[in-house]
Amino acid sequence: MEKQELIQEIIRLKKEKNAVILAHNYQTPEIQEIADFVGDSLELAKISHTIPNQTIVFCGVFFMAETAHILAPEKKVLLPSLDAGCPMADMADPHEILELKKEHPDAAVVTYVNSTAEIKAISDICCTSSNAFQVLNSVKEKKIIFIPDRNLGRNLARFISKEFFYIVGYCPVHEAVKKEEILKLKEIMPDAEILMHPEVNPEVAVFADKLLSTGNILKYAMNVSNKNLIIATEAGLLYQLHKKAPQNRYFNIGRDMICPNMKKTNLQNVYEVLKNESNQVVLDPEIREKAKKSIVRMLEI
C-alpha cells in the first residue's frame, strides 16, 4: 500500500475498533502524526489507564507497552514491533538485584520505568525521568538501590542526601554523548542553552543548562521564545519541538541521536497490528500484580 492509503486505512481501522494510538516523543514524525497522543513515559503511562478505549496501539518500546498493560490489564495493548526493546531495561538482572537487596536490607529499591516487569515486581517504587526527584524524596529510606540507569541515578544523587547503590545500566544512545562534543558546541554557540535528558553520563550532564525528561524539555521550550536550544536527546523529540514551539531555533549535538528500537515502529506494522489485533502484550498475572504496586505507588505521588 502507498503511504497515504496506509494512513487512511489506519484512521479507518482506529475508528472501527475504537482504538487509540499512543506514541512516545522519540517515534518517527509519521507515527507522531497518526497518534492520538504523543508524550513522555509518564504521560503515556497515565493516559493508558485513564482513556476509555479498550484497544491501545502503543508506538514505543516494550517496557512502555508492558507498563500500559500492567495499569490496564483489561485493555488490549498492541505493540507494532515486538522486538522494539530497550537495551537498558535488559541490563538489570533480577538475581543481581535480589543480591543487592540482601546486602542492603534497609535500602529502598527505586526503579526507573525503563525496566522489565520482572524487575518492577521486586522493586519498592518506580520513577520516570520527569518525577524521579519527587519519588526519591518521597521514600523514607536513607539508602537507595537505584536501577537500572546509573546515569540518571548519579545525576539526581548530586542533589539528594541519601546513599545510592547502582548496577551497570545505561542507555547506549545517551551514554554515547561525549563531553568533547558538548564543549565544542559551547564554543561554537556560546549563547545557546543546552537541554539534556538525564540519561546522559554525569561528566556530560554537568554542562547542561537543564536536565529534563522529554516531556519537560517540550514544556520548557513552549514557555520560552526566540532561543537557540541545543537538544541532547533522541532526534524524534525535535519534531514535537518544531511543531509545538516553533518560536525557538533547535539544534542537535552535531549529529542525530537515534534509538534504533524506537524507530522499529512504522506505518506498515501499525496498520497490521490494528487490522489483525496482533502483537498483544500480556504478562503472567502474578508478575503483573506485583509490578503494578511499584507503578501505582509512583503514580500516587
Which residue from 53, 55, 114, 131 is in contact with ligand SF4, where contact means CB under 6 A? Answer: 114
Q: Which does 288 bind (CB under 5 to 8 A by kind): ligand 13P, ligand SF4, none?
A: none
* Count of residues that interact with ligand SF4, criterion CB under 6 A: 13
Please report whether residue 261 would count as binding ligand SF4 according to CB under 6 A.
yes
Binding track, positions 45-84, relative to ligand 13P; x by CB under 6 A: ----------------------------------------
Please report whether residue 41 would count as binding ligand 13P according to CB under 6 A.
yes
Q: Which does 27 bind (CB under 5 to 8 A by kind): ligand SF4, ligand 13P, none?
A: none
Please report whether residue 128 would count as binding ligand 13P according to CB under 6 A.
yes
| 180: exposed, middle or buried (Cβ count in 10 Å: 0-12, 13-18, 19+) | exposed
Rounded distance between C-alpha atoms, residue 34 and residue 126, angstroms: 29
Q: Which does 214 bind (CB under 5 to 8 A by kind): ligand SF4, ligand 13P, none?
A: ligand 13P
Q: What is the nearest approach in angstroms of ligand 13P to the Cβ of residue 187?
A: 27
Please report whether residue 116 would count as binding ligand 13P according to CB under 6 A.
no
Which residue from 32, 48, 115, 129 is in contact with ligand 13P, where contact means CB under 6 A? Answer: 129
Nine cell digits for residue 283: 504478562
Rounded distance between C-alpha atoms, residue 250 and residue 163, angstroms: 37
Indicate the DSSP class of residue 278: -
Task: State the CB neighbour count (10 A cutoff) for residue 256.
Answer: 10
Q: Which does 48 bind (CB under 5 to 8 A by kind): ligand 13P, ligand SF4, none?
A: none
* Count of residues that interact with ligand 13P, criterion CB under 6 A: 11
Indicate the DSSP class of residue 148: S
| 4: exposed, middle or buried (Cβ count in 10 Å: 0-12, 13-18, 19+) | exposed
Using alpha carbons, select from 115, 113, 156 the residue that is nearest to residue 133.
156
Measured CA to CA in angstroms, residue 227 lies from 127, 161, 207, 247 at distances of 30, 34, 18, 8
